[in-house]
């Protein structure tokens, strides 16, 4: 669906605050380098807000969520392509603030994600989720949106954002969109650009590991069997170094004996950290 109005590019917090509000307004928060996974978020957000509503996209490579030595400086920046995708998807306004404007009043107050922010990705990247939640809360306030759409690809991030909105009574609806995958199953991610052709090929073991776990669960295996099956696939390629393979309940609590569960994996492929996850239904009794 194409918008009738030209897209507005807002570069300052003042411009964002001054955007006249027409309800309903949905927001998709991104760090740019948009791919078809983001396109699915944009389409879902546009569907939610409807033809008369608004769709705001934020583009901001958030320094608070990168630790020293991570890829903040080399994170891909593809502004022109990002704008083109936003135009194609009928985005009303793109809000791309500069770091100094975003934090002009300071950045010493941050949100504590609690124990859920200390496991899995939070264990590997200790301040990551505090940085994510702080900026997500700030963008919710700045954009004054009624709904925000996030991908299931970053499942722990999605769970934490849902928890934050619920516990802090933030008046916004959070929607989620299933992961979009390449033909071989690899989840789309801006960081896939870092992979060499050989690493890109090796990365296909991540979705293969998830499929193996789903299969084991569907045929009567328990959480541990699913983990073993996934680990076997992950370790089949020497370019892939697994970090964790974990089965949890859908809210990231301990794995249930049976019923709905989630498997989450992280692995380094070359120097690139890749994440993926899938729903599992444990049929054990
Ligand atoms: O998922 C992302 O791209 C980022 O973590 C987000 C939600 C835009 C916050 O910087």
Q: Which residues of the chain are under the pLDDT cut of 50? A: 1-3
Q: What is the pLDDT of residue 263?
A: 98
pLDDT at 285: 59
Q: Tell me what pLDDT residue 22 has.
A: 79
Q: What CATH code would you report for 190-279? A: 3.30.1300.10
Q: How far is the CA of 241 from the centre of ligand 1 (A)?
A: 25
Alpha-carbon distance 257 to 255, whole Å?
A: 7
CA–centroid distance, 61 to ligand 1, in Å, is 8
H or E element: which one contains 30?
Answer: strand 25-30
- In what side-by-side order are the strands of the sheet with 93-95? 8-10, 93-95, 54-59, 25-30, 147-151, 173-177
Query: Does the predicted TM-score (pTM) go above 0.85?
Result: yes
CB 243 within 8 A of CB 250: no
CA dist 220 and 216 (Å) reads 7
Q: Using a pLDDT cut of 90, give the percent of the chain over it.
A: 95
- What length is written for the chain? 285
What is the greatest pairwise CA distance in the chain?
57
Which residue's CA lies nearest to atom 1 of ligand 1?
30
Nearest atom, ligand 1, residue 29 CA: 8
Location of each CATH 3.30.1300.10 domain in the chain: 190-279
CATH assignment of 8-177, given 3.40.50.450, 2.40.160.20, 3.40.50.620, 3.50.50.60? 3.40.50.620
Residues of the chain with CATH 3.40.50.620: 8-177
Q: pLDDT value at position 3?
A: 45
Residue 138 and residue 15 in contact, taking contact as beta carbons nearer than 8 Å:
no
CB of 135 closer than 6 angstroms to any ligand 1 atom: yes
């Amino acid at each position: 669906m194409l918008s009738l109005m030209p897209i507005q590019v807002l570069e300052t917090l003042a411009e964002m605050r001054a955007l006249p509000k027409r309800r309903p307004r949905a927001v998709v928060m991104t760090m740019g380098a948009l791919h078809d996974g983001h396109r699915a978020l944009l389409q879902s957000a546009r569907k939610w807000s409807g033809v008369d509503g608004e769709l705001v996209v934020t583009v901001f490579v958030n320094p608070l969520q990168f630790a020293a030595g991570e890829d903040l400086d080399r994170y891909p920046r593809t502004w022109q392509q990002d704008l083109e995708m936003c135009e194609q998807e009928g985005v009303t306004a793109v809000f791309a603030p500069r770091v100094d404007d975003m934090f002009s009043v300071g950045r010493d107050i941050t949100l504590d994600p609690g124990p859920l922010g200390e496991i899995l990705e939070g264990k590997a990247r200790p301040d990551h989720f505090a940085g994510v939640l702080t900026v997500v809360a700030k963008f919710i306030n700045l954009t004054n949106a009624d709904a925000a759409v996030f991908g299931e690809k970053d499942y722990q991030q999605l769970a934490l954002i849902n928890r934050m909105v619920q516990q802090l009574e933030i008046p916004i609806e959070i929607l989620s969109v299933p992961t979009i995958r390449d033909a071989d199953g690899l989840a789309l991610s801006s960081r896939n650009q870092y992979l060499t052709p050989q690493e890109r090929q090796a990365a296909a073991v991540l979705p293969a590991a998830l499929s193996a776990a789903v299969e084991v669960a569907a045929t009567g295996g328990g959480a541990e069997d699913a983990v073993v099956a996934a680990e076997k696939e992950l370790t089949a390629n020497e370019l892939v170094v697994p970090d964790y393979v974990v089965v949890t309940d859908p809210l990231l609590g301990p794995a249930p004996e049976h019923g709905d569960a989630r498997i989450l994996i992280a692995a380094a492929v070359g120097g690139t950290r890749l994440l993926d996850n899938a729903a599992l239904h444990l049929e054990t009794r």
